[in-house]
Structure 1
Amino acid sequence: MTHPAPTASTDVAIIGAGSAGMAAYRAALRHTERVVLIESHVYGTTCARVGCMPSKLLIAAAEAAHSARQAHRFGVNVPPIDIDGRAVMARVRSERDRFVGFVVDTVEQWPVADRWLGHARFVDTHTLVVDGLAGPRRLQAERIVIATGSRPAVPPAWRAALGERLIVNDDVFDWTDLPGSVAVVGTGVVGLELAQALHRLGVRVRLFGRGSRIGPLTHPALQALAREVFAAELPLTLNVRDLKPRREGDAVVLRTELADGTVQEERFDFLLAATGRRPNVDRLGLEHTALPLDPQGVPVFDRRTGQVGDSAVFMAGDAADDRALLHEAADEGRIAGDNAGRWPAVRLRPRRAPLAVVFSEPQMALVGATHAELVASGTAFETGEVSFADQGRSRVMARNHGALQVYAQRGSGRLLGAEMLGPAAEHLGHLLAWSVQRGDTVQQMLDSPFYHPVVEEGLRTALRDAQRALQLPAPAPEHCLECNA
């Protein structure tokens, strides 16, 4: 005889305790004390455990090794570099665990009754069954926030063929030592960052891509420059038409057929699949609800409110398959949690200017509207550009690679967006994002102070180029002839 699952009730149920779920919990509590936060695995966000923080720890080690190797360019000679893989990974894991600990400590300070551990699935639009260690429990919730995050998307055939020799980025940060060789498949942000970092740490790496793109830049000229810059350092195989991995003992043999028909084979210790991520919505039982779904099975929602259709269900974070970035997930969590708490009095919330950064070297940044988005929308705009090849401060640091493009609206001169490959993109990206969000014009930006000598003077050069394209009156010249700033 089976017994029905015990039933509880709450005003707001939040599925997922990552960055979005935690933000949603705090926001919902401002309106009601009856909030339940459900987590199916362990506390600690994707960012802290397997994303932003451990990847930057690995990149920091790689940058230290690269800087030492390049010191001779400044007349500084150092002994041959000796990379202790165990020490590298020990620091990555130790600092990673520290960041995760902060998150776990925060969640565990919240009331025990508010925290449910187990996998949640919908029975209907207002009822969840949560399968925990003590068995299933039913939860009746007036409003629900889906913040279940995402996971790496890996071809099942690869897993079957390679077993533990197939890894994803999550696995890298549990290594106790660096491997001898890794094939990285996928030239997006994750693949590029990890491939370059491992390469600089002495691992034999090759980065494979099905197309010719490197990273998220959308302007063809910037993409071509990215291919040139990264190919000069990192072994690349692009335009792969067919890719077939197989296992031979403890090795992965990767057979690739290129667009021109060339066939290549190479052996590696591991294959790192950086082939994208998929939202964790496929095991939620959404078929038992009346929620509108897109062709991929993700609930259709309004990103200004988080609301799915006209229901009392809201979306936030990577599960929403929108902008998979921590600050966006936190914003979406606040919006969804606030509106779930105050439902049915749902409010529209303005979103911040888009900002994305790639921590490769050189770095990349995309701000506001991209070139591809502006072209697709038919927006009338002009482009201003600067190359960092001869930019003063960039040459001083021997980091003079890349270019910056700024996009300004015709007529108003307002900055619409920018794309960058170059030094200090993580910092310039913030300045540009603030200007986009404020609605600054090119002239207003040029009227702002620029110190000398700094990389930001390159931004000024790009803005002046945009000013000429917009046919705006030029200000009095402020030019350093000695350093091309």
Structure 2
Amino acid sequence: MKHYDAIIIGAGQAGVPLAKKMAEAGKKTAIIEKRYVGGTCINDGCTPTKAMIASAKAAYQARKASELGVMVSDVTVDLKKIKKRADGIVGIFKAGAENGIAETKGLKLYMGEASFIGEKEIVVKSKDGSEEKLSADLIFINTGAKTIIPDIDGINDVDYLTSTTILDLEEVPEHLVVIGGNYIGLEFGQMFSRFGSKVTILEQSPVILSKEDEDISKAVTAFLQEEKIEVITGTKINHIGWKGDQIEISESTGKKDKKIKASHLLVAVGRAPQTKNLGLENCGVETDEHGHILVNDKLETNVKGIYALGDVKGGPAFTHIAYNDYTIVYRNLIKNTDLSTKGRPVPYCMFTDPQLARIGLSEKQAKEQQLEYEVAVLPMKNVARGIETNETVGLMKAIVDKKTKKILGAAILASEGGEIMSVLQMAMEGGITSEQIRYRVFAHPTYTESLNNLFMKIHK
């Protein structure tokens, strides 16, 4: 059995930089990956999907160009070329991660599936059937999450797609049905609609994006429907099966039963932690009822010296959170800091067009917490930059503490919403008030400048 100072299970966005930093700090380190170095984000998450979304936006803008006096005829989409471009970007990013590991002295990469055989002992099973046993003083679990397949009658009898396998398509689907009306489902739904697919989104909740405020959910629904995407909410799927060469989905909405035929079906109802095959019972690491590894605010499990980072531990399932997990663990262990996850901001962005970017509390959450707050809302149709660029869909919304005027949260549904939200995040972290932003000097004409007008709703 080979002994290491540190072992990282999973070469994702927390695992790779952590492994490199541990090795650079003089610790003999191993990193284990069963699939692709770089994890979901690089290989079949953020990187390829956002590259393809850029192609979808280009097609959409070309069709809308006449509104700006530019005549573009015969807009066609070459999905093979789009996929080739996305795959090329993935290849560059993946190679960068692999080279970073290879060039780091004291760091060894094992390709295979890891499982615990003791408290600090691991077996790595390679695809060729060979096994290696490793042990370490410190072990970090960064195994991420995978698509949940809901228990729907007949679903396993059809060729459904996931957020991973849909990236393999080289022809635009004739009719794509998406099960799930949240971030992943909406991004793919709009993207393929812009590529030329007929798209239907099925969501069991009364609204899509049910965790967001009602006005945000309604605004997203409106722009999707404006693009001829069918959004069906409050639906129950009774059965899925083949009808000739089409997939038939039997669903009930209220008292109405309906059968929908589709050429392709995307399942996007959520993701589950990849802990089932880790053999956690052999090391004593505890999980919740969903399989997420339980950690404290220093990201350490109930077993001293074993940590969990990223999606596998539950909580916000975003790449940037996984990366921040790494920075907390690394600095605490190597630089002797005393950092924790308590109170850290959780920004996120859904890359529909317009983007939905969020930070802090929603109005719904502020109300639940019985806070004294004010709301500022500015429609994008009233934003100068939006009018000039023909990007007038959406709204800016901020929740402000009534007494202190500190910003409690914001939702920015706008072109480049993520960038605008980040300005407000910095204000929140710096304690800058809504009144200060109301009178702040921003460059003209920018989207950020309209934060003056947003907070004018409160500070007249």
Could you say which TM-score interval applies, normalised by the shorter chain? over 0.9
1:196 maps onto 2:190 in alignment:
yes
Aligned match for 1:220, one of 214, 224, 235 = 214
Please name the residue that 1:148 is paired with: 143
Which stretches in structure 1 are left out of the alignment for 5+ residues? 1-6, 468-473, 475-485
1:410 maps onto 2:402 in alignment:
yes
Aligned match for 1:287, one of 267, 281, 298 = 281
Please name the residue that 2:243 is paired with: 248
Aligned match for 2:339, one of 338, 348, 355 = 348
> How many angstroms apart in 2 are the aligned matches of 1:352 and 1:358?
20
Please name the residue that 2:358 is paired with: 366
Bigger Cα displacement from structure 2, 109-118 vs 18-27: 109-118
> How many angstroms apart in 2 are the aligned matches of 1:380 and 1:36?
51
Whether the aligned pair in 1 keeps the contact of 2:101 and 2:107 (CA below 8 Å) is no
Whether the aligned pair in 2 keeps the contact of 1:357 and 1:364 (CA below 8 Å) is yes
Bigger Cα displacement from structure 2, 31-40 vs 7-16: 31-40
Please name the residue that 2:381 is paired with: 389
- Secondary structure of the 2:11 match is coil
1:235 maps onto 2:235 in alignment:
no
Q: Which residues in structure 2 correspond to 1:50-449 (within 5 Å)?
A: 50-111=44-105, 114-132=108-126, 133=128, 135-155=130-150, 159-162=155-158, 165-215=159-209, 218-233=212-227, 234-258=229-253, 260-303=254-297, 305-309=298-302, 311-339=304-332, 347-349=338-340, 352-449=344-441
Alpha-carbon shift at residue 352 of structure 1 (Å): 4.5
> How many angstroms apart in 2 are the aligned matches of 1:312 and 1:51?
30
- With over 3 angstroms needed to count, the CA separation of the structure-2 counterparts of 1:339 and 1:455, relative to structure 1, is closer
AA matched with 1:308: T
> How many angstroms apart in 1 are the aligned matches of 2:132 and 2:365?
46
Bigger Cα displacement from structure 2, 95-104 vs 426-435: 95-104
- With over 3 angstroms needed to count, the CA separation of the structure-2 counterparts of 1:379 and 1:123, relative to structure 1, is farther
- Secondary structure of the 1:173 match is helix
Whether the aligned pair in 2 keeps the contact of 1:126 and 1:141 (CA below 8 Å) is yes
**TM-score, with normalisation over the residues of structure 1?**
0.88
Alpha-carbon shift at residue 199 of structure 1 (Å): 0.3
AA matched with 1:197: M
Bigger Cα displacement from structure 2, 410-419 vs 365-374: 365-374
> How many angstroms apart in 2 are the aligned matches of 1:113 and 1:384?
51
> In angstroms, what is the RMSD of aligned CA positions?
2.2
> How many angstroms apart in 2 are the aligned matches of 1:128 and 1:84?
46
Bigger Cα displacement from structure 2, 229-238 vs 331-340: 331-340
> How many angstroms apart in 2 are the aligned matches of 1:144 and 1:346?
19
> How many angstroms apart in 1 are the aligned matches of 2:279 and 2:9?
13
Alpha-carbon shift at residue 113 of structure 1 (Å): 6.0
Which stretches in structure 2 are left out of the alignment for 5+ residues? none
- Secondary structure of the 2:381 match is coil
Alpha-carbon shift at residue 364 of structure 1 (Å): 0.5
- With over 3 angstroms needed to count, the CA separation of the structure-2 counterparts of 1:201 and 1:455, relative to structure 1, is same
Paired residues, what number?
456
**TM-score, with normalisation over the residues of structure 2?**
0.92
Whether the aligned pair in 2 keeps the contact of 1:23 and 1:337 (CA below 8 Å) is no
* CA displacement 1:165-206 (0-9 Å, x = unmatched): 211111122223323221111111111011101001111221
> How many angstroms apart in 1 are the aligned matches of 2:287 and 2:100?
33
> How many angstroms apart in 2 are the aligned matches of 1:129 and 1:440?
51
* CA displacement 1:55-109 (0-9 Å, x = unmatched): 1111111111111111122232221222223323332323333332322332333
Aligned match for 2:448, one of 450, 456, 462 = 456
> How many angstroms apart in 2 are the aligned matches of 1:60 and 1:364?
16
